[in-house]
Chains A and B, each alone.
Chain A
Amino acid sequence: MKQTPLLELKGITKTFGDFTANDSINLKVYRGEVHAVLGENGAGKSTLMNIIYGIYKPDRGDILLSGQSVKIQSPRDALRHGIGMVHQHFMLVGMYSAIENVCLMGEDSALSLTNKKKTEEKLNELKKRYGIEVDLHSPVEQLSIGMQQKVEILKLLYTGADVLIFDEPTAVLPPQECDALFDVIKNLVRQDKGVIFISHKLEEVLYISNYITVLTKGRITGQIHTEEADKETIVRMMVGEDVLPPDFAARRAVGTPGPVVLEGEGLYARDDRHVYTLQGVDIQIHAGEIVGVAGVEGNGQVELAEVLAGVRKARKGGRVKIDGQEVSTKNARAFIDNNIAYVPADRNYVGSVPDFPLYENWILRNNHPPMKGPFLDYGEIRREAENAMKSYDVRARGVEERSANLSGGNLQKFILARALEKHPKALICEYPTRGLDIKATWFVRDRILRAREAGMGVLMISGDFEELFSLADRILVLYGGKIVGEVRPETTTVRKVGMMMMGVNGHESD
């Protein structure tokens, strides 16, 4: 099987200023093989892939295609050389259909007329060959995430890509769609394509790949054939030591939860495109429990969280009650005054103002910051922020640091510290550990559990089953803007929840 590699990287180095994102990376991808690149967030996986795809220019190093050295200056070059990438955030124009998105590509002259008929025929052929089922005519923004991903793959196959890069493809998918994706990938390698599979999830890498490269802090810390690998070896390659994850499930609450602190009745809401994504949800959150919400992205869970946090209007007469008192969802400040804490999914632009120093971000979502007469008391604000940063182990140069300069983990800790510092009645968090490294993830989970132990009601939206199953006391499953099931993690399985997320077997709770 050892023919010339389809793609070979030799000594790729990329620095941003003084920071080395990739340090002499060597890598070989063969036809008919899935090459997994494994590493935590910030390990340099994305940078490496962007170099292969022509978005970044490497400082040093060569890229060889079938043994020939090539210069890749732009995605256009990459496509011309047969390299295609399925990005984590899909590179699709939302208002275009799959066909139109495909028409964008290709080598023919810009002023040529678009030939949608021909494109459609060819796409249908590809669909059959690789077993991909997808709607070609609707605007892709109306398709599910899994479908959009398939459009991405089709798009690349259409241009004749030989090397396909998948950047964390499963991060956004429910389990069933993951299986479908794996089937597609298997089909691809069967047809002699080369696949680079980027992930930080051990299990799926072990399942799908033939060869594994582990990246840590910009360097390769291990390369191994999958058949020779097991979990422990890989973890050691990643963290350089043996670490055991804490057992969160053991801290599950026993006994009856407290009174209802936050309650929604008949909640409807529109997303930013004015589409009703939340279609009538009733929810009660008790003191001292963690309610997990599962669902495929775009099924209303974000809107649910936002309505309950007071930052999105409930429509069609939906009501939110805090401690039994109704609060108008038009008035975000009332929620803040009633001490409803909120940790949004987007840390950088929602949870903080990127250009603000940390001490100024400290009083975001705070109606009563420390005042001296009519003026803000920045001395006190700094002190509060400093103390919280100490107790939450936020590593930054100080409160003067702009929040944009913090790593994801530190920023999330900062935001969590700010949310919990005032001992809220309820904590609403969206994807609290998405994109965090292992240690930060454990830290955040621990704090969420402590919040529950301190008697707060917690609503936790997550796409991570491990997180939902180990933290939540009960899990609500959202599909199409409605709750289609409520389960207890001790008595169900990931697969069952996954089925519900797909709209199959609704209400069949154990």
Chain B
Amino acid sequence: MDQIFTAAFLVPLFAAGVRMGAPLVFGSVGDVLSEKTGVMNIALEGEMLIAALLSFMAAYSSGSLLAGVLVGGFAGLVSALVIAFWGISRRQDQSVVGIMFNIFALGFTNFLYRATFGVRTDRAGVEILATIKIPVLSDIPYIGEIFFQHNILVYLAFIGAVAVWFVMKYTKFGLQVTAAGENPKAAAAAGVNVVRLRYTGYMFSGFMAGIGGAFLSLGNVGTFTENMTSGRGFICLAITILSRWNPLFAVIAAFLFGTVEALQLRLQAMGADLPYQFFVALPYIVTLISLVIFGRNIRAPKDLGNVYNKESR
């Protein structure tokens, strides 16, 4: 397939990989921080879905995409707050609560969408976020097209990832985050408020997932469709592991996943002679295999998933 190794094929492929990876970057970068504090955000899927709807509703009623994105982030944050109440304050099993929240979100968005928009023949839609070409950078051959001709949220995803990486590596907050996930008792003894820190991490993760959800509805299609996250939240969890809890690696892993997804669409269109089911399953197979290959000997935060109880001995 010499068609594949041409700039005309590869450049748009990688550009699409960036585009499709961006919502995953939001989800997984947030989750990286949250998992570093010791809480796994299994509810990403549900948070994204609720945010996708609410951001669309806000953008639709206000006419402002910015308002939509902000509401999306806020919706994710509030969802996370609710889950955190169960998972951190009430010390319930985080994965059980997360799974239940995902189930809840599917029904809730259906309910809310219908209650708000009813069933209409015309389509409730908004303009999607415009593509912004970064001056100068977007003119670089190949690179410009791949990285610098996207909507604002794609850039924000990258900036967000770098910012989280910087904060985790160079600030006291970053040290505290890792300490809370490694040894919460030691962190507490050092004066860190572990519960508050875990809330912060989790809600940040919810906020990011919310922006990721807004990306789906406002960045891609300008409307909400039922269950539009289609499992992306779970992929984000896999990416978090692949990234070894490093936000920059999370960007790379998300990009990898997006590219495989983009690739399968292109291979199909080019008439590759395989059943389509194989292509549809391909990104998941790749993720599974990379988990096995790159996921070996990784060191997860020691206290990940454990309930922190201040007064326990």
Contact = CB atoms under 8 A, between A and B. Distances in A.
The short answer to whether A and B are in direct contact, CB under 8 Å, is yes
Contact of B182 (A95, A106, A109): A95
A104 B171 contact: no
Interface stretch (A72-80, A321-329, A358-366): A72-80
A245 B189 CA distance: 38
Contacts of A309: none
A76 B170 contact: no
Interface in A72-91: 74-76, 79-80, 85, 87, 89-91
B203 to A, nearest CB: 15
B186 interface: yes
A91 B190 contact: yes
B191 interface: yes
Given A75-B188, A92-B186, A105-B191, A112 B172 contact: yes
Contacts of A108: 172
Most buried by A among B171, B175, B178: B175
Nearest to A95: B182
Contacts of B191: 74-76, 79-80, 104-106, 159
A109 B171 CA distance: 9
Nearest to B166: A113
B287 interface: no
Given A114-B170, A114-B171, A114-B172, A104 B192 contact: yes
Interface string A367-398: 00000000000000000000000000000000
Contacts of B186: 90-93
B232 interface: no
A400 to B, nearest CB: 24
Contact of B173 (A89, A111, A159): A111
B130 to A, nearest CB: 32
Interface string B186-206: 111111110000000000000
Contacts of A182: none
Contacts of B188: 55, 74-75, 91
A90 B190 CA distance: 11
A277 interface: no
B311 A110 contact: no
B172 A85 contact: no
Contacts of A55: 188, 310-311
B171 A110 contact: yes
Contacts of A79: 190-191
B19 interface: no
B37 interface: no
Interface string B166-186: 010011111110110011011
A56 interface: yes
Nearest to A56: B311
Nearest to A86: B189
Contact of B176 (A53, A87, A94, A104): A104
A56 B187 CA distance: 16
A100 interface: yes
A104 B187 contact: yes
Contacts of A106: 172, 191
A312 B188 CA distance: 33
A144 to B, nearest CB: 18
Given A110-B173, A114-B170, A93 B189 contact: no
Contact of B171 (A76, A80, A92, A111): A111
Contacts of A418: none
Given A55-B310, A105-B190, A93 B178 contact: yes
B192 A76 contact: yes
A213 interface: no
Given A74-B193, A79-B191, A105-B191, A114 B311 contact: no
A153 interface: no
Contacts of B187: 93, 104
A113 B171 contact: yes
Contact of B175 (A75, A89, A100): A100
Contacts of A104: 172, 175-176, 179, 187, 190-192
A483 interface: no
Nearest to A274: B297
A483 B171 CA distance: 44
Interface string B85-98: 00000000000000
Interface string B20-34: 000000000000000
A104 B187 CA distance: 8
A96 B311 contact: no
Most buried by A among B174, B178, B189, B190: B189
Contacts of B167: 111
A93 B179 contact: yes
Given A87-B189, A93-B183, A111-B167, 11 more contacts: A53-B189, A55-B188, A74-B188, A74-B191, A76-B191, A91-B183, A91-B188, A92-B186, A104-B192, A106-B172, A112-B171
24 contacts: A85-B189, A91-B185, A91-B186, A91-B188, A91-B190, A93-B178, A93-B187, A94-B182, A95-B182, A96-B175, A104-B172, A104-B175, A104-B187, A104-B190, A106-B191, A110-B171, A110-B176, A111-B167, A112-B171, A113-B171, A114-B171, A114-B174, A155-B190, A159-B191
A-B CB proximity, top 8 nearest: A91-B189, A76-B191, A91-B186, A110-B173, A104-B190, A93-B179, A79-B191, A105-B190
